[in-house]
Amino acid sequence: MSIKRSELRVDAKEKLNGEAKYVRDEKIPNMIFGATVRSSISNGIIKNITFSKDYNWNNITIITAKDIILNKVSFLELDMPFLAEKFVRYIGEPIVLLASNDRDELNEAKKHVFIEYEEFPSIINLMESENSEIKLYGSNNIFKEIKINKGDLESAVVEAKHKISIETETGFQEHLYLEPQGAVAIPEPNRVTIRGSMQCPYYVKNALDKMFGGEKKITVIQTTTGGAFGGKEDFPSLLAGHAALLAVKSGKPVAMFYDREEDVRYTTKRHPSKCFYTAYTDDEGLILGLDIKLYFDGGAYSTLSSVVLSRGALTSIGSYYIPNARVIAKAVATNTVPSGAFRGFGGPQAVFAIEMLMEKIANELNISPLEIRKKNLIAAGLDTITGQLLKYSVSSKETFNDAIFMSRYQEKYDEFKKHNKNILTKLNNGDYPKDNENDKLKGIGIGLSIHGSGFTGTGENKIRGKIRCEVKDDGKIEIFTAITEMGQGEKTTFRKILADALSISIDEVLLSEVNTDLVPDSGPTVASRSTMVIGSLLVEVADELIEELTDILNTENEKGFVYKEGYFYDGDKIVCFSEAAKKIKGKHLFKEYSHPPLIKFDDINYIGDAYPVFSWAASIAEVEVDPVTFETKVVNFYTSHDIGKAINHDQVIAQIQGGCLQGIGYALYERTEIKNGKFDISGFNDYIIPTLTESPNFYVNVIENPYPFGPFGAKGLGELPLVGAGPAVASAFWMIFNKEFNKIPILPEMILEKIFEKEGTYVD
Amino acid sequence: MLINFNLNNENVQVDVNPKKRLLDVLREEFGMTSVKEGCGKGECGACTVFLESKRVNSCLVPIFQVVDKKVVTLEYVKSWEAYKILENSFIENGAVQCGFCIPGFIMSTVSLFNETDGKLNKPMIEEKLGGNICRCTGYSKIVDSIYSFADDNAFLMKIKEGFKDEKQ
């Protein structure tokens, strides 16, 4: 069994010619539309809901909290309602649902719903939450607190020669998948079928099972999904719930289709963070101890904040070996839209903090950014923050060296420093900084990143992802899994893994539609787990099929068959796989995942193997800054990724490029803040993501350092590219200006502020 | 109001509010679902169609503005020989991920070749496709798919043939 380098995407053609049906493209007879009436205040009690008597409501279906059997969306906790009943916690919180066949009428009807509130003060700033008099969650507004202790921080403090601190800040990030959120609920007497754009059909099914108190049979079908990035992990449960409530009451299929403005204002974002790092080092910058505090803004309800925080805390030391450390991490409540999953899941915030700490130590001790990282880099044989001893598939050094070599970092660093000197001197003196119109400041930065593959801790063992495979009449094998295609390439990857494991053509492997009536619960499509976790089950299926068919052929022929490259062979007879497989047509194979017993984690004390394995990356960003306008651009981006094994090489490269560009956007462009209690954006016009013009030349290398328990050695990929890109970009700004850049996105006005900062100088 | 226009080389008539967006008319009245709504504000390019052979964001065009004019969508362009070549290039280069932006990219690419007479360089591609937003790919493979025809005259002729068909 061997893996082919690349396979063309199986879903490309229908997407190119426009025939792929996303949820808005489907024709569903008698379908009507739903709309949401939302809270106009950030915090308060709902005193009264009135429906204007002058308005004709005959054609409108109305749902309020009273219509819901169990009015809580089932995530990790049951705190968020489908519709607010007694109180509201953020501007935009759904209160009333309306449905009609006429969308113009819906817009009019919304104006005739009047909600009377008693308004309370609200918490908007995450740092004010914990000690606030205003109580949104429990006694202290903390959704989750994590403490990790490693070694003996106190003795490191005594031993150290330097104490170096940094505070970092990251903002909201909007997913901005091209296809906005959308779901349709189709009612039948005892059943509701959901068709929609989503990552996790079983999350939706479980949420609706609970919402209806088991009174309806729920079927969830994923339609072609136009991007997700975590944004369609948790939110579709709420949206599908809304559609289902309206559908059952109206007796008609109901579509909840958000337009872009509704989507960016009222759906989840990446958790904003404030991180406080204090390093205790020796004279050479070796970190002896590290004191870390992380604060994540969870928004109004807990949703997935506890697990996002968990990954943040576990990733808080990045790619480094820290012998003594203390981590205190808190996810707090504020009166804002609940934060949710976003590619990286707590990692990007924490990795930004540790990487900026590296910059600061380098800066203060006058060590090069490379040297400081090299000195503290973790390696096989060392242990992580939870005491997880790294035994296999560790590529911290390999990716680091590869990225430096590929980018000619050192050479460019020196060259750019020299190049910038003249421009910076002029800026410093208040002179016009350009000799030529095209003069730019040039920077080069480095960022290292790490991402644990699969769920944190014991998650995989709790959820036990399942698949089923079926042998078809013609000897083809059909895979049934709840893992979804959302653009990342799962449809091709899964078929390719099974095909390559059997040494047969990808055309001999089929993949079922994702319909909860047909597919078992494979767990959600999140956490860079699909290829590693479910992919390993596909290899098990292949092994079982080969073994069983070999046995059957041996019994039938009283010979010794061996399996060779897609054929069973016994010396004089040769049978191709599909021919042999026909002998067991109709057979179902079931597989269920759990970690190899070697992997052990203590969820309470955060000790042990937090992840079965980590993926590694090192990235180098070359940045240009216009010294007059402070307009920024990443010109070249180099990255080296170790993902164990590239299952589909070309698509791995594609995913790395796309993820890195999201990280670049996070570092330079993507900004939204809460103004007057709500997000100050309405879409692509004011939430700026990189276009083709902002996209750098990408140079991507994939290092293959196999994970012994992954399919063909593969481990996680999806999130890693985003995690390290932002820090690499920010590092280039430290290099150019010799100043502290501790906050992203780095906007032109922030650079200007740095220029005018009194202390420090940006000329070396 | 009755609106007459030419859609994909056929004269059609539709009775709608004249302020209705071309995007909605194409999708709802004619089932042209290759035309996607990504933003509704002319910012993302997912709803790109040709109006009188020039590309437009159909979310910004009220239907009364197309009276007696020619509108072309991907449903028609996909039958062109040039499309098949382009399709193959996007597939071979692995340029498609979630796919939602892709019909818009194809329409803009076809228009780009038509407007620049095919002598393309990368900055021109960047400029002309800067109005099409993709969140998945990092654009690199999309540009590769297009750039391979930068000075391919035979391909350019096929693009022109497509537009010629449409004018008949």
Among B85, B67, B22, smallest CA distance to B48 is for B22
Q: Is A468 on the interface with B (CB under 8 A)?
A: no
Three-state secondary structure string covering A171-194: CCCCCCCCCCCEEEEEEECCEEEE
From the number of C-beta atoms within 10 Å of its C-beta (0-12, 13-18, 19+), residue A555 rates as exposed
Per residue in A120-167, pLDDT (tens digit) is 999 999 999 999 999 999 999 999 999 999 999 999 999 999 999 999
Bridge partners of A623, per DSSP, are A443, A634
Contact B51, B69 (CB under 8 A): yes
CB-CB under 8 Å, A651 with B94: yes
Per residue in A717-759, pLDDT (tens digit) is 999 999 999 999 999 999 999 999 999 999 999 999 998 876 5
Q: Is B143 on the interface with A (CB under 8 A)?
A: yes
Q: Is B147 on the interface with A (CB under 8 A)?
A: no
CB-CB under 8 Å, B87 with A21: no
Chain B residue with Cα closest to A223: B98
Q: Is A16 on the interface with B (CB under 8 A)?
A: yes
Give mean pLDDT, residues A35-43.
98
CB-CB under 8 Å, A15 with B102: yes
Nearest-CB residue to A25 (from B33, B46, B94): B33
Among A349, A307, A309, A298, smallest CA distance to A90 is for A298
Q: Which of A8, A10, A16 is the best substitution to test chain B (most B C-beta atoms within 10 A)?
A: A16
Q: Which of A175, A691, A694, A698 is the best substitution to test chain B (most B C-beta atoms within 10 A)?
A: A691
In this prediction, residue B116 has a pLDDT band, given cuts at 50, 70 and 90, of confident
CB-CB under 8 Å, A650 with B94: yes
CB-CB under 8 Å, A689 with B133: yes
DSSP, residue by residue, A482-542: ----SSS-HHHHHHHHHHHHTT--GGGEEE---BTTTS-----S-TT-IIIIIHHHHHHHH
CB-CB under 8 Å, A22 with B97: no
Q: Is A655 on the interface with B (CB under 8 A)?
A: yes
Nearest-CB residue to A177 (from B74, B75, B135): B135
How much is the ipTM here? Answer: 0.98
Chain B residue with Cα closest to A343: B136
What residue type is assigned to position A311 of the chain? R
Q: Look at the pTM and tell me if it is higher than 0.95.
A: yes
C-alpha A89/C-alpha A75 separation (Å) is 18
From the number of C-beta atoms within 10 Å of its C-beta (0-12, 13-18, 19+), residue B88 rates as middle
Q: Is the pLDDT of residue A1 over 90?
A: no
Angle between helices A347-365 and A305-314 (to 10 degrees): 30
Distances (CA, A) of B110 to A13, A600, B85: 17, 55, 11
What residue type is assigned to position B77 of the chain? V
Contact A32, A106 (CB under 8 A): no
Q: Is B65 on the interface with A (CB under 8 A)?
A: no
CB-CB under 8 Å, B97 with A655: yes
3-state secondary structure of A464: coil
A650: chain B residues, CB-CB within 8 Å: 94
Bridge partners of A196, per DSSP, are A183, A222
Give mean pLDDT, residues A30-51.
98
CB-CB under 8 Å, A11 with B96: yes
In this prediction, residue A173 has a pLDDT band, given cuts at 50, 70 and 90, of very high
Q: Which residues 42-71 in chain A show a CB within 8 A of chain B?
A: none
* Those residues with Cβ within 8 angstroms of residue A553's Cβ, 6 or more apart along the chain or in another chain: A559, A561, A568, A570, A575, A580
Per residue in A260-303, pLDDT (tens digit) is 999 999 999 999 999 999 999 999 999 999 999 999 999 999 99
**CA atoms within 13 A of residue A206's CA, in its CB half-sphere:** 14
Residue A503 dihedral angles phi and psi, to the nearest 5°: 55, 45
Average pLDDT over chain B, rounded to an integer: 95
Structure tokens, B132:
């099409």
CB-CB under 8 Å, A177 with B100: yes
C-alpha A321/C-alpha A453 separation (Å) is 19
CB-CB under 8 Å, B125 with A692: yes
Q: Is A650 on the interface with B (CB under 8 A)?
A: yes
In this prediction, residue A762 has a pLDDT band, given cuts at 50, 70 and 90, of very low
Per residue in B62-74, pLDDT (tens digit) is 999 999 999 999 9
A17: chain B residues, CB-CB within 8 Å: 34, 74, 78, 83, 87, 103
CB-CB under 8 Å, B46 with A684: no
Determine the distance in angstroms separating the CA of A726 from the nearest CA of chain B, rounded to an integer. Answer: 15
Per residue in A356-382, pLDDT (tens digit) is 999 999 999 999 999 999 999 999 999
Of all helices (H) and strands (E), which one includes residue B92?
helix B81-92
Cα(first)–Cα(last) distance of chain A, in Å?
57
Q: Is A18 on the interface with B (CB under 8 A)?
A: yes
Q: Which of B28, B97, B132, B137 is the best substitution to test chain A (most A C-beta atoms within 10 A)?
A: B97
Place of tokens 């819901």: A68
Nearest-CB residue to A22 (from B100, B132, B140): B100
3-state secondary structure of A275: strand
Per residue in A20-30, pLDDT (tens digit) is 999 999 999 99
CB-CB under 8 Å, A693 with B97: no
C-alpha A562/C-alpha A551 separation (Å) is 10
Structure tokens, A580:
């042999």
**How many residue pairs from chains A and B have C-beta atoms closer than 8 A?**
167
**pLDDT at position B165:** 65
Average pLDDT over chain A, rounded to an integer: 97
Q: Which residues 109-128 in chain B show a CB within 8 A of chain A?
A: 125-127
3-state secondary structure of A507: helix
Q: Is the pLDDT of residue A419 over 80?
A: yes
Give mean pLDDT, residues A518-536.
98
**pLDDT at position A758:** 60
Chain A residue with Cα closest to B44: A684
In this prediction, residue A416 has a pLDDT band, given cuts at 50, 70 and 90, of very high
In this prediction, residue A764 has a pLDDT band, given cuts at 50, 70 and 90, of very low
C-alpha A21/C-alpha A31 separation (Å) is 16
Peptide bond preceding A189: is omega within 30 degrees of 0, i.e. cis? Answer: no
Determine the distance in angstroms separating the CA of A396 from the nearest CA of chain B, rounded to an integer. Answer: 25
3-state secondary structure of B108: helix
Q: Which of B75, B86, B101, B140 is the best substitution to test chain A (most A C-beta atoms within 10 A)?
A: B140
Chain A residue with Cα closest to B78: A17
Q: What is the number of helices (H) and of strands (E) in chain B?
A: 7, 5
The CA angle A629-A630-A632, to the nearest 5 degrees, is 120
Cα(first)–Cα(last) distance of chain B, in Å?
27
Place of tokens 């932002």: A726
CB-CB under 8 Å, A176 with B135: yes
DSSP-assigned letter for residue A562: E
Determine the distance in angstroms separating the CA of A530 from the nearest CA of chain B, rounded to an integer. Answer: 16
Q: Which segments within chain B are labelled E, that is strand?
A: 2-7, 10-15, 48-51, 54-57, 70-72
Residue positions counted in chain B:
168
Distances (CA, A) of A435 to A432, A628, A748, B65: 8, 12, 21, 49
Structure tokens, A626:
């216009």
Among B38, B128, B8, B77, smallest CA distance to A17 is for B77
Contact A416, A444 (CB under 8 A): yes
From the number of C-beta atoms within 10 Å of its C-beta (0-12, 13-18, 19+), residue A764 rates as exposed
CB-CB under 8 Å, B140 with A224: no
B31: chain A residues, CB-CB within 8 Å: 27
**pLDDT at position B168:** 44
Contact A632, A458 (CB under 8 A): no
CB-CB under 8 Å, B39 with A226: no
Determine the distance in angstroms separating the CA of A13 from the nearest CA of chain B, rounded to an integer. Answer: 7
CB-CB under 8 Å, A13 with B40: no
Contact A708, A613 (CB under 8 A): no
C-alpha B149/C-alpha B120 separation (Å) is 8
CB atoms within 10 A of CB A1: 14
Dihedral (CA of B98, B99, B104, B109) sign: positive
H-helix segments, A217-335: 235-250, 260-266, 305-314
Place of tokens 């052929």: A553
Per residue in A466-512, pLDDT (tens digit) is 999 999 999 999 999 999 999 999 999 999 999 999 999 999 999 99
Per residue in A221-260, pLDDT (tens digit) is 999 999 999 999 999 999 999 999 999 999 999 999 999 9
Angle between helices A347-365 and A369-376 (to 10 degrees): 120
Per residue in B10-46, pLDDT (tens digit) is 999 999 999 999 999 999 999 999 999 999 999 999 9
CB-CB under 8 Å, B97 with A489: yes
Structure tokens, A451:
């991402």
